[in-house]
Homo-oligomer: A and B are copies of this chain.
Amino acid sequence: MSILVICLVFTSIITNTLSLTQEQENDRITALPGQPEVAFSQFSGYITVHKKQGRALFYWLVEAAAPNPLLKPLVLWLNGGPGCSSIAYGASEEIGPFRINKNASSLSLNQYSWNKEANILFLESPAGVGFSYTNTSSNLKDSGDKRTASDALKFLKRWMSRFPQYKYREFYISGESYAGHYVPQLAQKIHNYNKNHHDPIINLKGFIVGNAVTDNKYDNIGTVEYWWTHSIISDTTYKTIKNSCNFTSPKYNEKCDNAINYAWNHEFGEIDQYSIYTPSCNKSSGNVTLSRLKNTLVRRRVSGYDPCVERRAEKYYNRPEVQHAMHANYTRIPYKWTACSDDLLENWKDSQFSMLPTYKKLIAAGYRIWVFSGDTDSVVPVTATRLSLSHLNLTVKTRWYPWYINGQVGGWTEEYDGLTFATVRGAGHEVPLFQPERGYLLFESFLAGKNLPRS
């Protein structure tokens, strides 16, 4: 090779590196409005996933707080809905470094932020969620599981071009609720992609999901069981649902439909279905009329999560200075940033009936897979998850036992060949919101590949 060629190649490498660095630097968050001082870096911005249709996904990377984030794995977090924002929930109420204060103009630190252990990548997925947008408005009406997964894979590849230091890094996917679909689906996409490429830059090691939608039939049966055993519904309604509902068919018969509607309208009452023993947020404070969970029982009436906390996020992330600091919404999306998109939820096109076949494939491929469940959630309850997982017919490796934190039972766990199941005692749908310390220990143990402590 001539010196000229060598020099040209060298120059090109330098230029690329410089422009890469510049691209990253453009996404750096100097500081969020009202943010306390922190010892970690943050980046956020857009990755285009479909040029022609103008779909771009918004991300927020919170690097690990530890001395050297380069040695820590990368963890993607996804919220469910479908249509809910990982920034509204995951980042701001659950595992993120900040909590939005009551005034919705300042932030405080979350002692149990998962970025103490890993670099956390919050993704607003699919397009139409939060700051993620599409220039093709029909995209809001024809989104579904499939596009969500393929856009997410595109996102990851392109994001790693912008952040090449994360290529080949240990990578995990995490999420909750309807992300019980997204997470294993994306894992499988990556798995297939890696199999067909000689240089697998996405070094997927496994995934962890909480209160996860898993199998329509078993989830629904388990949910009705939960309602009765937690005294939410009457004997009459329980019996009618059990005798008349066929949860394998996509449409329910009238008798089943009526019984479920009766339960919603006359029996449930204004409890927080996502955390049945905590006081529910003042009724007038949020829109609690729409469903945020497809593929579970018909017409879930209450939006759930904590509408009081949601409202703070909806104030904070709509502030122009916040959007400016996050490099968000520079295309001027014609609607406000919301915690969940009802458009997406109501028009969800394709939804996998059961994730169990996907689990089977990923278990066979040897990924680390953990499923957890906050046991005071009535929306995707622990009975639903247990019933669903039991149909994987896995061999028990470590028998059911209570795990401990600070001398108290944090929950129960059982390790199967290829999957670990754990409950979190007294936690609602959003485990890290209701039991932050227990949720954090769970995440730590997952990352370390260690069973939860017996004392």
Interface presence of A254 (CB below 8 A): no
Interface presence of A216 (CB below 8 A): no
- Is A412's CB under 8 angstroms from B232's CB? yes
A143 to B444 CA separation, bound complex (whole angstroms): 54
- Is A236's CB under 8 angstroms from B400's CB? yes
Interface presence of A286 (CB below 8 A): no
Assembly of this chain: how many copies?
Answer: 2
Residues of A within 8 A of B (CB): 225-226, 228-237, 266-271, 276-277, 279-280, 282-283, 373, 375-376, 382-383, 386, 390, 396, 399-402, 404, 407-409, 411-412, 414, 423, 425-426
A235 to B226 CA separation, bound complex (whole angstroms): 15
- Is A412's CB under 8 angstroms from B231's CB? yes
Closest chain B residue, CB of each to CB of A386? B235
- Is B229's CB under 8 angstroms from A271's CB? no
A-B contact pairs, 12 of them (CB 8 A): A231-B386, A231-B411, A231-B423, A234-B414, A266-B399, A266-B401, A267-B402, A268-B402, A270-B407, A271-B409, A280-B408, A280-B409
A386 to B382 CA separation, bound complex (whole angstroms): 21
- Is B423's CB under 8 angstroms from A235's CB? no
- Is B399's CB under 8 angstroms from A277's CB? no
- Is B226's CB under 8 angstroms from A229's CB? yes
Q: Which 7 A-B pairs have the closest CB atoms?
A: A269-B402, A234-B400, A229-B229, A277-B426, A269-B409, A231-B423, A271-B409
Closest chain B residue, CB of each to CB of A239? B390
Q: How far is the CB of A226 from chain B (nearest CB, A)?
A: 6
- Is A412's CB under 8 angstroms from B267's CB? yes
- Is A408's CB under 8 angstroms from B266's CB? no
Q: How far is the CB of A235 from chain B (nearest CB, A)?
A: 6
Residue numbers in B under 8 Å from A400 (CB-CB): 233-237, 266-267
Given contacts A229-B230, A277-B277, A277-B425, contact A267 B401 (CB under 8 A): yes
Residue numbers in B under 8 Å from A236 (CB-CB): 396, 399-400
Closest chain B residue, CB of each to CB of A400? B234
Residue numbers in B under 8 Å from A233 (CB-CB): 400
Residue numbers in B under 8 Å from A266 (CB-CB): 399-401
Closest chain B residue, CB of each to CB of A222? B229
Closest chain B residue, CB of each to CB of A267? B400
- Is B399's CB under 8 angstroms from A234's CB? yes
Given contacts A277-B426, A426-B277, contact A231 B382 (CB under 8 A): yes
Q: How far is the CB of A242 from chain B (nearest CB, A)?
A: 14
A396 to B266 CA separation, bound complex (whole angstroms): 15
Beyond A226-B229, A228-B383, A231-B412, 18 extra complex contacts between A and B, CB < 8 Å:
A229-B229, A229-B383, A230-B375, A231-B373, A231-B375, A235-B386, A236-B400, A266-B401, A267-B402, A267-B412, A268-B402, A269-B402, A269-B412, A270-B407, A270-B409, A271-B402, A280-B408, A280-B409
